[in-house]
A and B are shown apart, each in its own frame.
Chain A
Amino acid sequence: MNFLEAFRDPRMAGMLRDEIHELAGRRGKRDRPLSIMEVCGTHTMAISRNGIRSMLPSTIRLISGPGCPVCVTPPGYIDAAIRLADSGTHLVTFGDLLNVPGSHSTLAEARSRGAAIHVVYSPTAAFAIAQERSGTQVVFLGIGFETTTAPIAAMVDRAHQIGIHNLSILTAFKCVPPALHILAIDPELHLDAFLCPAHVSAIIGAEAYEPVCRAHAIPCVIAGFEPLDILYGIRGILQQVLHREARVDNQYNRVVKPSGNRKALDLLARCFQPSDADWRGIGVLPASGLTFRENWSTFDAERRFDLRVEKGTVNPACQCGNVLKGKILPTACPLFGTACTPSRPIGPCMVSNEGTCSAYFRYEGKGVPS
């Protein structure tokens, strides 16, 4: 059985679209549209790829959240990675990170200057790369939300067991729930609900959203990434809003369990401890990151190479924070379209292919279909 196709049925999608229009109609006229933030970049991608915005009434506004942990990786982290690569260390990275700008350069540019940068799909590939080059230091660029942090922790655990000594991790892990708290209380955002990520939730569990949901009385609906999941999730949000409820509603229960993946969470707790983390375009959020615990510090690239990840510099004129919050349009940013373009992005809204600025750059003047 193909569990992707089953959740892409166009007839069912049409039916759910009609449901959403009816429920939105029942909510009646309001001053401003119902604002739903999809927290996760994969939701943003799926919404865009399936043209879901074009299926919704104008009374529902989908706001793209901080995007993905790649887009919010701060420039200082990229700078540190480039310094490592320039000193002869082999870097292993997910492809997503190649074009994220550091203060002065990107990993793609470093690679073109001759740096050894291996693009992989899975952290497991780092074993082979490290084993093939036993005399060389290999650093895996450890970025990710909980979904990706767990596989990287498993990779580290395995490297420890089989005794790979030339592999370490440069960490910039991010945790989703602390960011939700910050976003929920932002008065300028006026968020009415969160569409919560599918696969982060597979690790952290549905219950992880209870504190945010209760503290801010905001509906939190966990939805899968297929179009029917997303549409049904939006329908679920509308129902909560109509009934003046604010619950955690797990609509991806074919995968997400109330308490998450216990084995993965135990492993994460064993390897990592919470730490403050810098989110590009948002700033430092307390306890929103993960760093190695003391007894795992041999795998910590920062310690192994006595590396300091500085703050790095983003062009101070970058307005991504305001674009992200819907306060200004991308065109109001002085860098937009001149210093900052999809080929040479500065802020996270341009880094991400589906970021607001990137979409504006590519579609403005042509008109996004509605």
Chain B
Amino acid sequence: MCLAVPMCVLRIEPDGTAVGDLDGVRHGVDLSLLESVAAGDYVIVHAGYAIERLDPAEAQSRIRLFQDLQTSRNADAGEGNP
């Protein structure tokens, strides 16, 4: 179970909730399960609640890891094909 999507926090409202953005769509996000969320943070939203932060640096490094893996595979394949 547990559909949840990453949303970018656009702003924090006076009541402590956030406005989250996913591809231009805005949706209210309850922040009471996280400490000190700020505008610009990415959070994982499940049933209207931010349940955890998403670390963009870790995400980027994972994407780089995929790219490196592909590069090294291509290089390996290249060795076999003079």
Contacts and interface: CB of A to CB of B under 8 A. Distances in A.
Interface string A18-42: 1100000000000000000000111
A122 B2 contact: no
B73 A19 contact: yes
A11 interface: yes
Interface residues of B, number: 36
Given A147-B51, A151-B49, A228-B66, A197 B2 contact: yes
Contacts of A94: 47
Contacts of B32: 154, 157-158
Interface string A242-260: 0000000000011111000
Nearest to B1: A68
Contacts of A125: 48
Given A15-B70, A42-B3, A3 B54 contact: yes
A222 interface: no
A12 B70 contact: yes
Given A121-B48, A261-B52, A154 B2 contact: no
A70 B2 CA distance: 11
B66 A254 contact: no
A323 interface: no
Contacts of A253: 55, 58, 62
Interface in B50-82: 51-56, 58-59, 62-63, 66-67, 69-70, 73
A200 B2 CA distance: 7
A14 to B, nearest CB: 9
B33 A145 contact: no
Contacts of A203: 51-52
A199 interface: yes
A239 interface: no
Contacts of A267: 33
B30 A154 contact: yes
A87 interface: no
A148 B55 contact: no
A94 B46 CA distance: 12
B66 A122 contact: no
Contacts of B52: 199, 202-203, 255-257, 261
A202 B50 CA distance: 11
B34 interface: yes
Contact of B46 (A41, A151, A232, A254): A151
Among B2, B55, B67, residue most surrounded by chain A Cβ atoms (within 10 Å):
B2
Contact of A4 (B5, B30, B70): B5
A100 B34 CA distance: 32
A150 to B, nearest CB: 6
B12 interface: no
A123 interface: yes
A19 B58 CA distance: 22
B2 A198 contact: yes
A124 B35 CA distance: 19
Contacts of B1: 40-42, 67-70, 144-145, 147-148, 197, 200
A338 interface: no
Interface of A: 1-4, 6-7, 9, 11-12, 15-16, 18-19, 40-42, 67-70, 94, 121-125, 144-145, 147-148, 150-151, 154, 157-158, 197-200, 202-203, 225, 228, 232, 253-257, 261, 263-264, 267
Shortest Cβ-Cβ A-B pairs, 6 listed = A122-B48, A68-B1, A151-B49, A254-B58, A147-B2, A199-B2
